[in-house]
Amino acid sequence: MAHVCIHWFRKGLRLHDNPALVYALKECKELYPVFILDPYLYNTQVGINRWRFLLGALKDLDCSLRKLNSRLFVLKGKPEDVFPKLFDKWKVTKLTYEYDTEPYSLSRDEKVTSLAKEHGVDVSYKISHTLYNTERIMEENDGKPPLTFKRLQAIVQKLGPPKKPIPAPTLENMKDVETHCSEENEKKYGIPTAEELGLDLTSLGEELFPGGEQEALRRLDEHMKRTRKHSDPPVSLHGQLLWREFFYTCSVGIPNFNKMEGNPVCTQVDWDTNPECLAAWREARTGFPFIDAIMTQLRQEGWIHHLARHAVACFLTRGDLWISWEEGEKVFEELLLDGDWALNAGNWQWLSASAFFHQFFRVYSPVAFGKKTDKNGDYIKKYLPLLKKFPPQYIYEPWKAPRSVQQAAGCIVGKDYPHPIVQHEQISKKNIQRMKEAYAKRSSDSNESPSKKQGVKRKAPSVIDLLQKKKRKV
């Protein structure tokens, strides 16, 4: 008996390396590739650049599906409201999707699965968003997520190489499969335009990073060709994939992973509430050209270099402004095209020395760090053209330039460009002391006995142990 199948696209907007899609085509007579604009995910915290990226990816996916005599069906609404109607209307017998480990996704998928069962629809998912099954990684580590990269590497070594990506379906695979591409459906389920979504894309600059599978594969290909000698993990591309796996596994095994409170691996810090400083950081007016240039690029282009992320994250949190990493997390989520729930939360904890990374006395200087690789300040000049006439010796610290130099540069600090929001040298020293106190408190909190050192070692993993036991019962 052949199936009427919905394949539900969510994160993996691609045809290759999509085992759930291939599974959907088995014994299938009708296929409905579906994407849902879920108000929970897309109404809040999505910057206009990310919208453009998403629409591009959907168009690319639709285009690829049409080459297979199929198409993408785009719907709006809560998935638990949308699916029951589709099940009835299309007489669906099977639903497939790629497994997604985010807490919201898990609860959403659980709801949809039980609705599907009520409608007599078979549900299948495949793991292909991560290299490995994150549960399997934890199994190899006594049921806990590995908390160091080295440990993850050792586990992965034991598990062997991940499955190779499978090719995209071909016309041959689709020969017995039909998709109803009627004129009426065209209007009803088409990809919405920016205007229909109330977005003004004309305010955006050039699209430097188009969304979609074809562009992604092209970039990967280009990278692999360009890189003659591939470095080793952790800094290689391979290493980056393992870092991704590392944070994904942590995000599955550690409760409240995107928050400080209730997160057992996160050091509890008395961050300040400081809306003015937060706004200055977000809006690129901290008075530190390197920081402001990075925040400008982030807003304009939706992508910034890895080390640039380090610099602004350290500045917002433990380095200078002493604002919670959760605030930075929200801003990155809104603006980064490559924003990802697990990686965002993991890296913010890393950079704020709240978890994984603990050498809080190593503070990135908002002046010196950029100078290391860009003495002339070309990067600053590109994103803050207001400062481009400053000579290299002052471009990272324009407030130190004599009045005459500022006048010659056509930019007066305090008038055309802000004064530095903090005095880095003093404030970072003070903040290191505050971090020290937070760590000391963490040690004493998790340890009743007077011998602190031992207590930390014993108590820390036992918290996770308890949580794991709880989980197993459920």
Partner DNA sequence: ATGTAGGTTGAGGAA
Partner DNA sequence: ATTCCTCAACCTACA
Least gap, CB of 156 to DNA (angstroms):
12
What lies within 8 Å, CB to CB, of 426 at 6+ separation is none
374 is in an annotated binding site: no
Quote the tokens at residue 274.
């400081």
Decide if 446 contacts 456 (C-beta within 8 A).
Answer: yes
* Minimum CB–partner distance for residue 149 and DNA (Å): 4
246 is in an annotated binding site: yes
Instruction: Judge whether 298 and 344 are in contact, CB under 8 Å.
Output: no
For 133-193, give the secondary structure using H, E and C: CHHHHHHCCCCCCCCCHHHHHHHHHHHCCCCCCCCCCCCCCCCCCECCCCHHHHHHCCCCC
Residue closer to DNA by CB (options 146, 169) is: 146
Binding residues for DNA, per CB under 7 A? 146-151, 154, 234-235, 239-240, 243, 265, 306-307, 310, 350, 356-365, 367-369, 372, 436, 439, 442-443, 454, 456-457, 460-461
Alpha helical stretches, state H, 183-335: 183-188, 213-226, 237-253, 275-282, 289-301, 306-314, 325-335
The answer to whether 88 is a known ligand-binding residue is: no
For DNA, give the closer residue by CB, 8 or 379: 379
Nearer to DNA, 78 or 151 (CB): 151
Q: How far is the CB of 372 from DNA (least distance, A)?
A: 6
Look at phi and psi of residue 262 and say left if phi exceeds 0, alpha if psi is from -120 to 50, else beta: left
CB closer to DNA, 213 vs 292 = 292
The smaller minimum CB distance to DNA, of residues 342 and 363, is found at 363
- Rg (Cα) of the chain, in Å, rounded? 25
- The answer to whether 244 is annotated as binding is yes
10 Å CB burial of residue 398 (0-12, 13-18, 19+) is buried
Sign of CA dihedral 235, 237, 238, 242: positive
Min separation Cβ 340 and DNA, Å: 13
Please report, as a single letter, which amino acid is at residue 94: K
For DNA, the closer of residues 55 and 138 by Cβ is 138
Q: How far is the CB of 439 from DNA (least distance, A)?
A: 4
Q: List strands edge to edge, sheet with 28-37.
A: 73-76, 28-37, 3-9, 94-98, 122-126
247 carries a ligand binding annotation:
yes
Q: Is 378 annotated as a binding residue?
A: no
**What gap in Å lies between CA 34 and CA 25, rounded to an integer?**
14
Q: Binding residue per annotation — 241?
A: yes
Is 467 marked as a binding-site residue? no
- Least distance from DNA to the Cβ atom of residue 183, Å: 49
State which residue, 99 or 315, has the beta carbon closest to DNA: 315
Distance of closest approach, residue 151 Cβ to DNA, in angstroms = 4
Which two three-digit tokens encode residue 10? 């969510």
∠ CA 144-148-154 to the nearest 5 degrees? 80
Q: Measured from the CB atom, is 29 or 375 closer to DNA? A: 375
> Dmax over Cα atoms in the chain, in whole Å?
83
Query: What distance in Å separates the CA atoms of residue 398 and residue 288, rounded to the nearest whole number?
Result: 8
CB of 425 to DNA, least distance (A): 8
Comparison of 31 and 137: residue with beta carbon closer to DNA: 137
Helix (H) or strand (E) holding 455: helix 452-473
Least separation in angstroms between residue 190's CB and DNA is 39
Question: Residue 245, annotated ligand binder?
Answer: yes
**Residue numbering of the annotated binding site:** 240-247, 338-340
**Residue numbering of the annotated binding site for FAD:** 240-247, 338-340
